[in-house]
Amino acid sequence: MTKSLKKRLSIMASCRGAFLGVAVLSGLINVLYLSGSIFMMEVYDRVLPSRSIPTLVGLSVIIVMLYLFQGLFDMVRGRILARVGAALDEDLSQQVFQSQLSAPLKGRAEGDGQQPLRDLDQLRAFLAGGGPSALFDLPWMPLYLFMCFAFHPWLGIVALCGAVTLVAITLLTELMTREASKAAVGAALLRNGISEGARRNAEVVHALGMAQRIGNRWDQANASYLAYQQRTSDVAGGFGAMSKVLRMLLQSAVLAVGAYLVIDGQATGGIMMASSILTSRALAPVELAIANWKGFVSARQGWRRLKTLLEANAEAEAPLKLPAPCALLSVENAGAGAPGGQRFAVQDVSFNLKAGSALGIIGPSASGKSSLARMIVGVWPTWRGKVRIDGAAIEQWLPEDLGRHIGYLPQDVELFAGTVAQNIARFDPSPKAEAILAAAKAANVHEMILQLPDGYETQVGEAGAALSGGQRQRIALARAIYGDPFLVVLDEPNSNLDNEGEQALTAAILSIRERGGIVVIIAHRPSALAGVDQVLVMAEGRVQSFGPKEEILSKVLRSVPAPQPAEPRMPAASNLKVVEDLGVAS
């Protein structure tokens, strides 16, 4: 049994205990609800005929005490449900967040990716609301109907007919809102995805004059969402209004039948009033359930989605902790593709790198270079073959343990809201200042950071918006080499760097090699290859050649034939692209 599954079972077990307590309290509350009807019956049948003030006072004291207990139990029940919701959120929030975080790596992210947390919020809000109380009160409806039958069969029959009608309305509400509620969630995902994408790319949207067109797309998605929401609300609201009218009508009908029985001498005035109150109380949970049905459906669908997400991301048993790697990176006939896709982006890749080596990966656009980088660091799992570090396949490591030994600079640099120091230290809760400074100096970014308004404590803003592209890239490089990781993978690390930054990059690569680390660098500019000793050429997702840098680059140059004056010839397209990308044609 996996850790997450055990944890989930323990959560549900604790919830079962709390729900059992709520059920007991609901039973006490519903029994105490009878006190009002009995008090009414006693007043009409005993106090008024006898004109006994002491009896009235005694009954009043008793009913006040019973109402106080009823209110106390109701308050305790509400607090238990609120705490059940909070406890469920506290126990599941980290799992949901981690599952949400890993969903894009498995091809399951939808919309803005925040739906799992919204589902958890919806579930907590429903548990803390009035919906569960109504559901716990529903099983006590037969008690009130039995009391009506005990007063007189006709009173029971009228109340039973009303109860059956309201239950039928509840079932119709469920059937008619189920599909619309599901569709509303899908429309909300699309709408939120458009909004989040536009927000994250606000500069492009503004510069290219796309705001109105993106706004029109959002309007269409929002209109669809509102239509489904309105349909759900109309159905639930319509049946809710119908149930209120029916309950009032039924209460009046019971009163009328009771009056007839009093006139006919088959019942007393107290029974007539008590049965009317009992009928109203018997149908109140159904009415309340219909009023909260929209929240119930949303919470149920959210729980199903959360359960599916958590099961898909269930953690395996923690593997044996492995020693820090220090010797070898090996890729064995490995292949992988985009999460959720069916097509290999890279395949049949094999090479070995020893400690102190640096590999430059070159090739034309869409040749699989970045895909190979993602596979090497474990962002994309291998579909075939293995990627090993010191002989251990990367899936044998826990991500947290492996992450300490890997530095990764993706093509699209992303910093997180926080300080420069926090970003460099990968948000380590207790980082060592010496390690942060060492990483910054290795990336030659220390002096630049000191020039920022608050130095290392400068807030970078969301996604590093307060910094330039070059500053973000150099800080991300410092983050990649923080803690002296054994394997450092850099995807086009010099795309936003000036000459000084490129020199710092070369120095960083050489320092990693000197301390016995391994560097893999994706390059489009030749300056990025200054510190490497091995080169791998990619084309169409496959390795074309691999070996020492001078040998591979000279081979690439020799594959470009010189043009003849009489009959000009162009080099092969793939080789020409490599040459152009590297800038070595001259």
Q: What is the mean pLDDT of residues 356-364?
A: 88
Q: Which of 248-252, 450-454, 499-503 is most confident?
A: 450-454
Q: Say if residue 344's pLDDT is above 80.
A: yes
Locate 109 and state its tokens.
């992210």
Cα separation of 202 and 189, whole Å?
Answer: 20
Q: What is the pLDDT of residues 262-301, one digit of tens each?
A: 888 888 888 888 888 888 777 777 777 777 777 777 787 7
**Angle, vertex CA 478, rays to CA 475 and CA 482, nearest 5:** 140
Q: Say if residue 364's pLDDT is above 70.
A: yes
Cα separation of 45 and 63, whole Å?
Answer: 16
Q: What is the pLDDT of residues 69-87, one digit of tens each?
A: 988 998 998 888 888 888 7
Residue with tokens 């081979």: 555
Q: Burial code of 533-553, b = ≥16 C-beta within 10 A, e = fewer?
A: bbbbbbbebbbbebeebeebb
Q: What is the mean pLDDT of residues 171-178?
A: 76
**Angle, vertex CA 559, rays to CA 558 and CA 561, nearest 5:** 85
Between residues 111 and 157, which one has the greater pLDDT?
157
User: Quick one: pLDDT band at residue 151, thresholds 50, 70, 90?
Assistant: confident
Residue with tokens 């967040």: 97
Locate 506 and state its tokens.
């070369």
Q: What is the mean pLDDT of residues 558-582?
A: 44
Q: Say if residue 166's pLDDT is above 80.
A: no
pTM of the model: 0.65
Mean pLDDT, the chain, integer = 79
What is residue 381's three-state secondary structure? coil
Whether 507 contacts 332, CB under 8 Å: no
Q: What is the pLDDT of residues 47-76, one digit of tens each?
A: 888 888 888 899 899 999 999 998 899 899
Q: What is the pLDDT of residues 484-509, one digit of tens each?
A: 889 999 988 877 667 777 787 888 88
Q: Say if residue 580's pLDDT is above 60.
A: no
Q: In the prediction, which pLDDT does 583 show? A: 40
Q: Say if residue 566's pLDDT is above 60.
A: no
Q: What is the pLDDT of residues 32-48, one digit of tens each?
A: 888 888 888 888 888 88
Q: In the prediction, which pLDDT does 582 show? A: 44
Cα separation of 233 and 298, whole Å?
Answer: 12
Q: What is the mean pLDDT of residues 531-549?
A: 87
The alpha carbons of the chain give a radius of gyration, in whole angstroms, of 35
Q: What is the pLDDT of residues 96-129, one digit of tens each?
A: 777 777 666 665 555 556 777 777 888 888 887 7
Paired residues of 322 in beta bridges: none
Q: In the prediction, which pLDDT does 163 show? A: 79
Q: In the prediction, which pLDDT does 88 show? A: 79
Cα separation of 116 and 26, whole Å?
Answer: 31
Q: Say if residue 5's pLDDT is above 70.
A: no
Q: What is the pLDDT of residues 181-221, one digit of tens each?
A: 778 777 877 787 777 777 766 766 776 677 787 788 888 88
Q: Give percent above pLDDT 90 in the chain.
A: 2
